[in-house]
Amino acid sequence: MPITDFLEKNARLWPDDVALVEINPELQPTGPITWKEFNLIVTAPGGRYRREMTWREFDIKANRFANLLLTRGVKKGDKVAVLLMNCLEWLPIYFGILKTGALAVPMNYRYTSEEIKYCLELADVSVLVFGPEFVGRIEEIAPQLTDVRHMFYVGCDQPTFADSYDRLVTYCSSSPPAIEITDDDLAAIYFSSGTTGFPKAILHRHRALTTSAIIEQNHHGQTRSDVFLCIPPLYHTGAKMHWFGSLISGSKAVLLRGVRPDWVLRTISDEGATIVWLLVPWVQDILDAIDRGDVNLSDYTLDQWRLMHIGAQPVPPSLIKRWLSVFPNHDYDTNYGLSESIGPGCVHLGVENVDHVGAIGKAGHMWETKIVRDDGTEVAVGEVGELAVRGPGVMVEYYKNPAATAEVLRDGWLYTGDMARMDEHGFIYLVDRKKDVIISGGENIYPVQIEDHLRAHPKVKDVAVIGIPDDRLGEIATAIVSVRDGEECTEEELAEFCSVLPRYKRPRKYIFDEVPRNPTGKIEKPKLREKYVGGRLVEVQITK
């Protein structure tokens, strides 16, 4: 059944229960916040900006937007893009699109004007929904978006080139549109993260969305009493598909706009969050804030918090061991997934396997995995190869890109581009991205192994390892290191720390700089290569 059926079920069974909460600590309201459409007044604890929505209101808003789209001629198979920061309107707009039979096309909020234009054209988008943060970027390219027939603006101070979403949905019917949707219908286009190149458009059916909800609930056992804290951007498959566990169980979710450790802990405490999905940098920041005394855990109510899980990037084992020493009563889990495999869960560690921290786990519920050589044959236990996955969430294709599709889809298997190995117990360990492998003097060097080692250094906050051209060896491993606040670190200290590694794996250069990460926590290595290689680098100066 389509994912929209879960929303309608929740609205029918628990109409007055809270479905979504939005909290923005950066906004400080002077009084109650009024949401005009439902005349809903919410008092913000501690003066924080806070809005909430029940399941009935959620479904009504989705129906109204669906009917608005239908009045504008949107039909099954059309593409509707969503360019919003996390907010209370995001998910009702997404579900409204799905209810029309159109395809939802979530957009990365970090895109430049040119990237927005590129993705809108690539996905054949005919309707764009955007928020106030993007007015300047859209205004810059609006005259060139000739195929975008309608633009809807969410927020105050509506620009002249767009229609008001807030005003128009008020006059639309709250009844569900009479459009039949099947599991085989196309549902959404997501964009790849672009960490290895320009984004590709990833096409999915409704079946993939529905099974991702079932898989997530199977992995983490969400019940009606759980409260999920969602911080990552909703445009990304990972955040949304983890929230699907709340959707399928009819439980509350909280959208927090901000990642400061005190904001995260205060929201967990005030909202009674039981499940929190964090990214590696945020885990690091919380632990550092605790160590520095910037936050005091006794100031918060955290006993109900049962699960902390991480995804979206390799997780340093040293970081999780440190976390569990501070929060010994937490279950810990990690999921591996790609937008091409509809987000999290095709590989799953499981809370019962915390003794295998460092592994990404085994094949997730309803999934199969294998690790293969370039010729497609499976590797031996312990041998490194490319991870391939097969299951109900594999994409249909890279939209309008048959060549790229053929590279990664073979006989129903999705070849992930991630290098991995399997131990004798069947647990899979990520080694690195295939395109990130450094070949130095004929040896394959996997940067993640060096990064995990360096992150265990007490002065290192974050690290990325890239290959830099070398006349003699072809490439040499170079570590870009971000040092913890208040610490001083030298190249010699790091070289000594890495002396336990095999000689060929040791970085030949160390650069002290910030490590760029995208909104889902992945290291943006193309930016580092452009900055430090760019085809022109002869010598790198150590800077701090």
For 305-354, the pLDDT digits (tens) are: 999 988 766 677 888 889 999 999 999 999 888 889 987 789 999 999 98
CB burial of residue 136 (10 Å; 0-12, 13-18, 19+): exposed
What is the pLDDT, as a whole number, of residue 22?
95
Whether 37 is in a domain gets the answer no
DSSP E strands: which ranges in 160-284?
Answer: 163-164, 186-191, 201-205, 227-230, 252-256, 275-278
- Span of 19-23, 320-324, 447-451 with lowest mean pLDDT: 447-451
- Indicate which CATH number applies to the domain containing 446: 3.30.300.30
| Position 197 confidence tier, pLDDT thresholds 50, 70, 90 | low
- Between CA 434 and CA 155 the distance in angstroms is 42
User: How many CA atoms are closer than 13 Å to the CA of 17, on its beta-carbon side?
Assistant: 19
Asked whether 304 and 273 are in contact (CB, 8 A), the reply is yes
- Between CA 489 and CA 468 the distance in angstroms is 22
Q: Is it the case that residue 262 has pLDDT exceeding 70?
A: yes
Q: Which domain holds residue 460?
A: 437-532
Whether 396 is in a domain gets the answer no
- Residue that is last in its domain, among 155, 189, 205: 205
Q: Is it the case that residue 527 has pLDDT exceeding 70?
A: yes
For 507-524, the pLDDT digits (tens) are: 988 999 999 887 666 788
Whether 198 is in a domain gets the answer yes
What is the pLDDT, as a whole number, of residue 539?
37
- Indicate which CATH number applies to the domain containing 75: 3.40.50.12780
Asked whether 533 and 509 are in contact (CB, 8 A), the reply is no
Whether 401 is in a domain gets the answer no
Mean pLDDT over 234-248 rounds to: 91
- Residue that is last in its domain, among 187, 205, 223: 205
User: SS3 for 430?
Assistant: strand
Whether 426 is in a domain gets the answer no
- Between CA 91 and CA 441 the distance in angstroms is 51
Whether 101 is in a domain gets the answer yes
Interstrand relation of 127-130 and 150-153 (parallel, antiparallel or unpaired): parallel
Can you give the pTM of this predicted structure?
0.82
- Residue that is last in its domain, among 177, 205, 233: 205
H or E element in which residue 62 lies: helix 55-71
Whether 510 is in a domain gets the answer yes
Q: Is it the case that residue 425 has pLDDT exceeding 70?
A: yes
pLDDT: which is higher, 140 or 39:
140
- Tally of domains in the chain: 2
Helix axis angle for 317-326 and 280-292, nearest 10°, is: 50
Whether 379 is in a domain gets the answer no
